[in-house]
Structure 1
């Protein structure tokens, strides 16, 4: 008797169960996706009011654009300006970074629901049922598409007051960048046997896209020249980057709708490649298999194993923070000149960084921003404990003569020591880029560490007491990032800024060193870590 499965078309069998997996993926990400979307949307939608406060008149905005025309460093960092309207300045100021956040969200979603599932063994169990070979990949891409569609809808609706056409263009462009990196992550998930490597490869491509765009924008003044009718155009390097496609879409400045075809073509081609690769391998395998280790183990301690697992992340963050310090250090003098005559811009920098001078305020605000980003590193590093436990890799290790606290200590030393290391390297980068005040800048970077450790301590506490709630640590880190990033620009009340541990740090360089809040934050971090370790020692492990 011919069964329904054999009578069904081959394509439908390949996608059987997609709807169920899609609903499951959306349920699993019911917290993560809204948080990413909310942060991205708030960052974009808060910018028009900020820009109106900084540059309220057309003459002030035109003066800003003319200054940007001669500042190659800022073009490399943010991109060119194509018009003096509030909408165009919004797309210029946050477009690249909103696109990067959307790309990271998309690649995390796709890898989580494809290679992560295979690496943990859950995908093999699911595939034993009536689930098609390509169903999990389709569900992951549809989840990413839904997240990007919601982000595009919010951006379009929120910026419609600046121009409906420009808002739609900008929203679709952000969604396009997200889907380009979602399909790219889908390819990486087929090529590699490790979810960590798949995320790393896709993130490396994102970094290369940013560098290509920055190099192209710094090499030409095409954007601003076009805005004032003097000709010019974008560099070839800019067109090689999906981030460059977004800025060349010129939202709110005579939209180039045909650029959306580049996004559509890239998504379609990469999706076809990912589907072809998915159909040519076994579940759990890859086209670039993991290299086998030595026949005799060389790792003698739990700390050595933790370092082996996390050394790639530490290296990547270290290089990134050092280069960021070099870039921001090189921009310091130019930033001071750019906002010296704008009282409101100067006030925001001083609220973010201190009150002792514009240059010191800019340095302090950039150092503080890197401190906020370092909190993401410490959360990711701490949650590696949760990943090792839920994947089952911690269980055989703890079955040997390795105690829980000793096992956890190896990862926590890397998490907390690594956060101090990357802030130190950021300070060295500032010293290289700025070339002045090496000691004060290093001190300003290191004073961020206690606040970073408080965020890490909160992650340890959640993991130790309630491991199922451990991913909520990302929500804490993102909330702190949002308070520190958007709060000063929106002139948020002091009580809200004080919710962040970073709001209690002394504003260095320029301000005076205040030891009591630093010591209190360090004590709080130690208490949180101690509470988390006590919980880890007494609770049952996930098996």
Structure 2
């Protein structure tokens, strides 16, 4: 449904469009008192700790210059990280972590903005707040200020952590990351005005973010100086072209600042022209007669778009990564420290096999995020009160949950199959070897998904903690080997117990233990779901 008529002043806000902004901001920050600090702390720590790992890997200027040349010469690596603009430790940190920090800041921002705008309207809470002294534009302002708080804290963490490498350059990198986050915060603000659901608003903003990353990747794959027109069309490319620790192009920061201003003004204009709960893009009406005969069919209808997008992404990423495997030995060269890192991640076998195992382990970590998100779709359906009408019919709770769980667990297997297939097509090794190494990641992926089932079933108000556990597991497995963390710490992640295929011997005991743990967690979660009351908010 659309609402394009001239706006009518609300009874609560009157002619003060920003009335109540401070109160709403405090409410938003209180609700995000765990989400924002954890996100900032983890992301900031990853970026700052990268300097130490790079110093350990490439201790001399000659080694750093050599790796900068080899990385920039590889078009596949340029498409992932961008070109290397300098041979200092700071420049290598900006190259290795800058793009991904900017992308993750954008993800944090879109989640925060949509949560405090469209999601509040979708649940009906915004309508209750608007009946009080709350201005028309106050909710949007509070959401953007909450996102600004998170991005400013992240920029400050990056600046403070890398100031010893050059305070000005550290500030340039921090601002590049934070401003990229704010660009997509304002993009999410526009999407929240256009769509009727939080899920669509997040999906639309994520699609814009994905397109920005692809534009930058395509541009950097074609040129090694960051000067491709495609790179300059992408906000992620702007962050790269700030060139922190390699000349510090301060003027580039004017581009994301201008984008934030223009998009913010557009969002404010749109929010003033619609009523609470309405949108500018009408929802497509469904068929006159329902076609979904089962709870599983409904779950598939709700999650098929997400699964399709993830699968295509894994296939394309597999094709790109597979083209890098053959040159793994050339990338590492004679650097024993780099060889040790790959062996800790992928196994102490031939370097090519270790590199392949490390890449497939990365795919497994990302697939675990899909599994957790797919499981927690149950929580979203329940808290938005969409599950109650379904369960009011002849549909039991276990049958309703089973549809989503099948998609979560089978879907994560499909993602790893797509990644393995892509790597096989571009690398060309025996398909059984590559697909087997991809499949061995499943027990750890399913274990984290099963933990989400347990939290949703037994402690639904703590269900979002599943994201924290999954994020911590990914951080330990991804950054731990480079930081030379003790094996006891690496074992805190389920991925630390998997056999390092290909090349290593298959160890069935940890696989079976993880699978047994998965079954127990799922059973306990479903038992809790069956006994407890539904969550309504």
Range of TM-score over shorter length:
over 0.9
Q: Which residue of 2 aligns with 1:195?
A: 198
Structure 1 equivalent of residue 3 of structure 2: none
1:136 & 1:206 partners in 2: Cα distance? Answer: 23
The equivalences for 1:435-514 within 5 A come to 435-514=428-507
Q: Which of the residues 328, 340, 357 maps onto 1:335?
A: 328
Who is 2:43 aligned against?
40
1:121 corresponding residue in structure 2: 124
- Residues 12 and 131 in structure 2, CA contact (< 8 A), matched pair in contact too: no
Matched, 1:84 2:67: no
Match of 2:5 in 1: none
State the match for 1:531 in structure 2: 524
Give the one of 324, 337, 360 matched to 1:367: 360
1:162-311 paired onto structure 2 within 5 Å: 162-222=165-225, 234-311=227-304
SS at match of 2:133: coil
What residue number does 1:231 align with? none
Q: How far is the alpha carbon of 1:9 from its aligned partner? A: 8.7
Change (3 A) 1:384 1:6: closer
Contact 2:51 2:90 in 1 (8 A): yes
1:227 corresponds to: none
What residue ranges of structure 1 are gaps of 5+ in the alignment? 224-233
* Preserved contact between residue 417 and residue 435 of structure 2 (Cα < 8 Å): yes
How many matched pairs? 527
* Partner residue, 1:157: 160
SS at match of 1:478: helix
Q: Does 1:315 align with 2:292?
A: no
Change (3 A) 1:86 1:20: same
Match of 2:108 in 1: 105
Poorly superposed stretches of 4+, deviation over 6 Å = 5-9
Separation in structure 2 between the aligned mates of residue 178 and residue 362 of structure 1, nearest angstrom: 31
- Kept in 1, the 8 Å contact 2:215–2:231? The answer is yes
Q: How far apart are residue 221 of structure 1 and its match? A: 2.1
CA 1:7–1:197 in structure 2 vs 1: closer, same or farther (change >3 Å)? closer
Corresponding residue for residue 431 of structure 1: 424
Aligned to 2:343: 350
What is the rounded CA distance, in whole Å, between the counterparts of 2:350 and 2:29 in structure 1?
48
Instruction: State whether residues 378 and 453 of structure 1, in contact with CA within 8 Å, keep that contact through their aligned partners in structure 2.
Output: yes
Q: Deviation string for 1:272-309 (max 9, x for gaps)?
A: 00010111111111111110101111100111001111
Residues 399 and 214 (structure 1), Cα distance of their counterparts in 2 relative to 1, 3 Å cut: same
| Closer, same or farther: CA 378–7 of 1 in aligned 2, 3 Å | closer
Q: Aligned to 1:287, what secondary structure does the other structure show?
A: coil
Report the alpha carbon displacement of residue 7 of structure 1 after superposing the two structures with TM.
13
Whole-Å Cα distance in 2 between the matches of residues 99 and 260 of structure 1?
13
Counterpart-to-counterpart distance in 1, 2:507 and 2:291: 46
- Preserved CA contact (<8 Å) 1:71 1:334: no
Kindly state the Cα deviation for residue 6 of structure 1 after the two structures are TM-superposed. 9.7
Separation in 2 of the partners of 1:69 and 1:502? 31
Deviation at 1:8, TM superposition (A): 9.5
Number of the residue aligned with 1:325: 318
Query: Quick one: which of 394, 404, 408 aligns to 1:411?
Result: 404
Partners of 1:481 and 1:67 lie apart in 2 by 27
**Are residues 485 and 8 of structure 1, via their aligned partners in 2, closer, same or farther at CA, if it must alter by over 3 Å?**
closer
Partner-residue secondary structure (3-state), 2:59: coil
Instruction: Tell me the distance in 2 between the aligned counterparts of 1:315 and 1:251.
Output: 36
CA contact (8 A) 2:12 2:135 kept: no
Q: CA RMSD in A?
A: 1.4
1:540 pairs with one of 526, 533, 536 = 533
5+ residue gaps in structure 2? Answer: 1-9
SS in 2 for 1:45: helix
Alpha-carbon separation, structure 1, partners of 2:366 and 2:35: 18
Please say if 1:60 is aligned against 2:63.
Answer: yes
1:62 Cα deviation after fit: 1.0
| Deviations, residues 453-499 of structure 1 (Å, cap 9, x unaligned) | 11011111111111000000000000101100111001000111111
Aligned to 1:93: 96
Q: Tell me the CA shift for residue 433 of structure 1.
A: 1.7
Following TM superposition, by how much is the alpha carbon of 1:340 offset from its aligned partner in structure 2, in angstroms?
Answer: 2.6
- The one-character-per-residue Cα deviations of 1:384-437 (angstroms, maximum 9, x if unpaired) are 111111111111111111111111111111111111111111110111121222
The 3-state SS of whatever aligns with 1:488 is helix
The CA distance in 2 between the partners of 1:379 and 1:32, in whole Å, is 16
Matches of 1:293 and 1:430, distance apart in 2: 39
Q: Deviations over 1:99-155 (max 9, x none)?
A: 111000000100111111111111112112211111111110000000000000010
| Distance across 2 between alignment mates of 1:265 and 1:297 | 47
Question: Are 1:22 and 2:25 an aligned pair?
Answer: yes
User: Any idea what the Cα deviations from partners look like across 1:161-190, whole Å, max 9, x if unmatched?
Assistant: 000010000001100000000000000111
Query: For residues 11-58 of structure 1, what are the alpha-carbon distances to aligned partners after superposition, in whole Å with 9 as ceiling and x for unaligned?
Result: xx1111111111111111111111211221111011111111111001
1:138 to 2:138 alignment = no
Q: What secondary structure is seen at the aligned counterpart in 1 of 2:292?
A: coil
Q: CA deviation at 1:71?
A: 1.5
Rate the CA distance shift 1:259–1:9 in 2: closer, same or farther, 3 A. farther
C-alpha distance 68-6 of structure 1, shift in aligned 2 (>3 A): closer
- Aligned twin of 2:370: 377
